[in-house]
Structure 1
């Protein structure tokens, strides 16, 4: 893997002086000195996030720049692979709607990733935190967030020339900066495709239940259309403020949306606060976005739109939309339980450790 050779080269160049970092030669990504990381985080005292891979800490460099530091647990093969993968991919990507990796640190069996700090936490915190007023995200803000995520996906799918599939798009993988500009994070499970390659085989299914492309789960074939599916689910979550996967008796999100759609009652997908506060023209636009989201979660990956097509639909409101295909796309209980046994596929499990603020509400 390209990331392995890159990091092996860097790790052989251990620093022999007291400088804070050295450049790696990849778009300004640095290898930080461990003492710099420890001092910046006040000895890792300010935890702002936890997850299956480790913890995230808020810090401040001597320059005054605020940072978020992800410390990975232990030295498992998976953590090592994910660490190398994220450094390799994010070191080569720069886009307004992607999290910026400032650098990394490796000390014995400990691995650290250093990101820009996002003061408005994750998109998930605005959807599920009961202590947050739902109206804090107006439709205008939601629309800008949705379009920003789409632009970030188009960049990694087509424009970056790396042909990256993220494989775990969801609200907890979307960070919000001071101006609520969305930044895609969680690239440890991302996969770079070969030039001209439209899909690849995966022996291990990674992601989060409720966001997984059904075809990917059945066949192990992953493609950019897998991200389109997850993006569609994310749009529906933003509009409805409902969980993608429900185990508490609530109707599953996609089932709820499709039932409302089939009955001609798509308005009831929209969260009640948004329904009450938005104007009629905004409601019409929201209903169009629900329609687009249903096209994104088409069970057939071949007829699912590309992100570029989705962005066209966003910008050209007069363009007619195809009718969504409503089929039997819900996993049987046995299949769900089979995947549920994997930690990376647990409902709501965040496979990323997001560089979030102290307002983290996942």
Structure 2
């Protein structure tokens, strides 16, 4: 069974708002996040994912506590599985509408590739399992952390990180999420070195409880293991483009995604630019966030003020739309 979205503009059956499907990343997880989908027709996909990766995903998304879900590899599988549940239920309910593109934040980019028909469910699940393990091991090899810096522009935060690196600190911009919302990543000392300069510039540094310095050069040790997994995956042409984290550009399905996903490990997530590409260049007027929580909706609200935003985080939302 295929559930890949189709660009309705290609076969003349256009109708409704031009929709972007967006998927959150690690950090969206919470205890019991799969419970709202437990009685849905899509629930058997949880057993499929479990079989593909050799893990009890049902237990993970129904009963695992918050401490367990903070583990990088488990968090990524849990978030992905919940996103697939939301996506399949939305597709079955006819709630996706006229989808013209997909995008995902970090981990969510893999779900976006699946929704766009570029990756099969089996390949996506295996890639995410391999990615999570590789990132966890990289964090053990090169420990690090992340922090949000609010109230400052991206160029200012970039200048602060460059100045810190000039003094020998290891810290980089990791996510450009929205105006005044930039995340940095690096060693604990490198991140701490930004606290006072950020305050002096009129901003504030807020530490994030994560298991590593994601989207920074400290994740480079994960590249070999992820690269092996990527080589075994089949990348299809897909049905709609996916806007990539690394360059904020829309791309069709192709083997070039292997290189993009390797770059994504150590490169910033350019989410603000990605949303602008979806809204301004691709003309998306409705954004559906599929998965646990509403992380992306809040970011999108600050970037594209005149678009419709819907978080599909429970079945009741599908009835409403």
TM-score (norm 2): 0.33
Larger Rg: 1
TM-score (norm 1): 0.31
> Relative contact order (C-alpha < 8 Å, sep 6+): which is higher?
2
Higher helix share: 2
